[in-house]
Amino acid sequence: MAHNNLNLKLKVWRQKNANTTGAFVKYDVNDISDEMSFLEMLDVLNEKLIVTGEEPIAFDHDCREGICGMCSLYIDGKPHGPWQANTTCQLHMRAFKDGDTITIEPWRSNAFPIVKDLTVDRGAFDRIIQAGGYISVNTGNAVDGNSLPIEKAKADASFAAAMCIGCGACVAACKNSSAMLFLSAKVSHLALLPQGEPERKSRVLNMVAQMDKEGFGSCTNTGACEAACPKEISIANIARLNKEYLGASLTAE
């Protein structure tokens, strides 16, 4: 394949820490191979900043293969950038043209305070899981794995929901900062399995309560979350969540 080099202008959100206000800063980056990943392009810029005595741009990342959910970035108005079903770390510079200006911001949500520059604190997601996103089974209690056959279609649907990487793009995409897609993915993953049955009601009630406490907004069904989700978590999970929630509230004492 032929490769091109790009010259680009970046507008990047810089903010020293949670207690200061931030602002956009402009940078030129030149000779960027279109084979690079987006984060490698930022690496190149950071290397330049470091040797010229400036502070590099802080952004979260780890696996760089779309699975850990650590990377974020709101690129040209889209969480994880222009490609569908993709994380920022898997975005490649082929997606851009020579001369483009690219705007890069952090996830914006009251429930995700900014740590520095493009890095935010997503601890709220862990606390939602603590509220009930598990099956209460101590180590050593399990019966033989095959003693509980699970219909393939159900197992597959559960897996499709369990693919959520906890990145928070759904929240960043939503004008209300709702975490419903994330929450519905976890509730669906466990509710679709027979193992999840005993705690089905308390789980959904407690997790929703925690989500509200964290300051996420309400869901008005715009579908922006589904469109931004790198793992194509279906909005049908939100419908299932609502049903689970209603059912649980009606029968709760």
Partner 1 sequence: MLDSKIPAGKLEEKWVDYKGHCKLVNPANKRKMEVIIVGTGLAGASAAAAMGELGYKVKAFCFQDSPRRAHSIAAQGGINAAKNYQNDGDSVFRLFYDTIKGGDYRAREANVHRLAEVSANIIDQCVAQGVPFAREYGGLLSNRSFGGTQVQRTFYAAGQTGQQLLIGAYQALERQVALGNVTMYSRHEMLDVVKIDGKAKGIIARNLITGELEKHFGHAVLLCTGGYGNVFYLSTNAMGSNVTAAWKAHKQGAYFANPCFTQIHPTCIPVSGDHQSKLTLMSESLRNDGRIWVPKTKGEPRKSIDIPEEERDYYLERRYPAFGNLVPRDVASRAAKERCDAGYGVGTSKQAVYLDFAAAIERYGKIEVSKQGLKDVTAEHIIAMGKEVVKEKYGNLFDMYAKITGENPYEVPMRIYPAVHYTMGGLWVDYELQTNVQGLYALGEANFSDHGANRLGASALMQGLADGYFVAPYTVGNNLADEIYNAAIPTTHPAFEAAAKAVADRIASLKNINGKQSVESFHKRLGKIIWDKCGMARNKEGLTQAIAEVQALKKEFWSDVRVPGEINEYNPELDKANRVADFIELGELMCIDALNREESCGGHFREEYQTPEGEALRDDENFMYVAAWENKGDHEWQLHKEELKYDVIKPSQRNYK
- Residue ranges that bind ligand FES, judged by CB under 6 A: 61-64, 66-71, 87-89
- Closer residue to ligand SF4 in complex, CB, 137/239: 239
Task: State how far the Cα of 124 lies from the Cα of 211, in Å rounded to an integer.
Answer: 8
Instruction: Give min distance, CB of 38 to ligand FES, in A.
Output: 10
Find the binder of ligand SF4 among 89, 169, 174, 192 (CB under 6 A): 169
Residue 182 site contact among partner 1, ligand SF4, ligand FES, none (CB < 5 to 8 Å, cut-off depends on kind): ligand SF4
b/e per residue 13-30 (b: at least 16 CB within 10 A): bbbeeeeeebeeeebebe
- Closer residue to ligand FES in complex, CB, 57/71: 71
Q: How many residues in the shown chain lie near ligand SF4 by CB under 6 A?
A: 14
Q: Tokens for 40?
A: 């490698």
Of 208, 211, 210, whose CA–CA distance to 241 is shortest? Answer: 208
| Under rule CB under 6 A, residue 133 binds ligand SF4 | no
Stretch that binds ligand SF4, among 2-10, 70-78, 144-152, 177-185 (CB under 6 A): 177-185
**How many other C-beta atoms are found inside a 10 Å radius of the C-beta of residue 129?**
15
| Under rule CB under 6 A, residue 106 binds ligand SF4 | no
Q: What is the dihedral of CA 132, 114, 108, 124, to 10 degrees?
A: 0
Instruction: Give min distance, CB of 192 to partner 1, in A.
Output: 9
Cβ partners under 8 Å of residue 3, min gap 6: 33, 34, 35
Task: State how far the Cα of 210 lies from the Cα of 232, in Å rounded to an integer.
Answer: 24
| Under rule CB under 6 A, residue 167 binds ligand SF4 | yes
Residue 185 site contact among ligand FES, ligand SF4, partner 1, none (CB < 5 to 8 Å, cut-off depends on kind): ligand SF4
Residue 168 site contact among partner 1, ligand FES, ligand SF4, none (CB < 5 to 8 Å, cut-off depends on kind): ligand SF4
- Closer residue to partner 1 in complex, CB, 139/251: 139
Q: What are phi and psi of 97, to 5 degrees?
A: -110, 155
Surface-to-core class of residue 41, CB atoms within 10 Å of its CB (0-12 exposed, 13-18 middle, 19+ buried): buried
Q: Interface residues with ligand SF4 (CB under 6 A)?
A: 164-170, 181-182, 185, 229-231, 233
